[in-house]
Amino acid sequence: MNNSGFGLKPCIFHWSDYSFPFNLSSFLQMLFSIITVCFNSAKTIQQTFESVLSQSCKDYEYWVIDGASTDGTVDIIRKYEPRFEGRMHWLSEKDNGIYDAMNKGIRLAKGDYLNFMNSDDFFEPEALQKTKEVIQQAPGYGIYFGAIRELDAYDKEIRITRNHPNVLKKLHGVIWHQGLFESRELFPKYNYFSTNYRIVSDLEHFIKLYQGHETFYPLDFCVASFRRTGISSTKHMDEKMQMYIDIGMIDKNYYSNVCRRKKLNDKILYYIDKILMIRYNILRFLKLR
């Protein structure tokens, strides 16, 4: 998903215009806040919306943070809004990348636990109800994390995976934000998502949680389906190289006690920077010709 926010439409901030018979105080104490950030996502966002609507658990509010889309995404949001019966709220304005948009959603959210469902991903059936039951049976954890179904560009299942937070001990893997529910209170505690990274700020955030000894509770079911076509799965060389550079910097900043790894990362970063500079000079030379 591209959420660079280079659209041309002016800012739109929209609360629901519809009136429904629900208690406002209970609305402000929803268990879940689901946040979808999007930019020019007209081709996929309807499936995301349908997956939220299909949940039997209605103990949620839904925030859609659009980056001033120009492809009809906002029209789709307007079309779906009344079907959520007051649970959907949205804004549309330029942003400074996906993590800036996610931070906007966090600051607007009122739910106890937050989930980030990308506009090209979707919930599995009954994911919210199953998670609610686990939270009721085992309350008080900071993060509840489940499995993710990985799909290719043709929606064919690649695998189902659920990494344990221990993978963050030495950066041996990640946990997917589509498959977890994090306490809203943890975000200001750890300064929200950094906007210094384009793709991997959620990785840095989870490392902070792990090193801060926050509590993780595993869910023994699949929470969401995740398409391997989003921003973190890009095959574009520049973005892929930048992702590796960012991961190297995170590794260096948070695992600097491992001297050998630090030296290796410094060397890798040095050569990646050289490769990017050579590529830039070649393209500049060709353009000048």
Nearby residues of 155 by Cβ (< 8 Å), 6 or more positions away: 227
Distance of CA 226 to the CA centre of its chain: 11
Identify which of 250, 289, 284, 248 has the alpha carbon closest to the alpha carbon of residue 266: 248
Kindly state the DSSP code that residue 141 receives in the 8-state scheme: -
Please report the pLDDT score of residue 73 as a whole number: 98
d(CA 175, CA 251): 16
User: Structure pTM?
Assistant: 0.78
| Percentage of the chain modeled with pLDDT above 70 | 74
Superfamily of domain 12-230: Spore Coat Polysaccharide Biosynthesis Protein SpsA; Chain A (3.90.550.10)
Give tens-digit pLDDT for 108-147.
999 999 999 999 999 999 999 999 999 999 999 999 999 9
Please report the pLDDT score of residue 6 as a whole number: 35
d(CA 65, CA 41): 12
Q: Which of the four pLDDT bands, split at 50, 70 and 90, describes residue 148?
A: very high
Q: Which of 77-91, 150-164, 219-233 has the highest mean pLDDT?
A: 77-91
- Residue, of 136 and 164, whose pLDDT is higher: 136
When the pLDDT of each residue in the chain is averaged and rounded to a whole number, the result is 82
Give tens-digit pLDDT for 226-273.
887 655 444 556 677 777 778 778 877 887 654 445 555 555 655 665
Residue 187 reports pLDDT greater than 90: yes
Please report the pLDDT score of residue 274 as a whole number: 63
Q: Which amino acid is at 189?
A: K
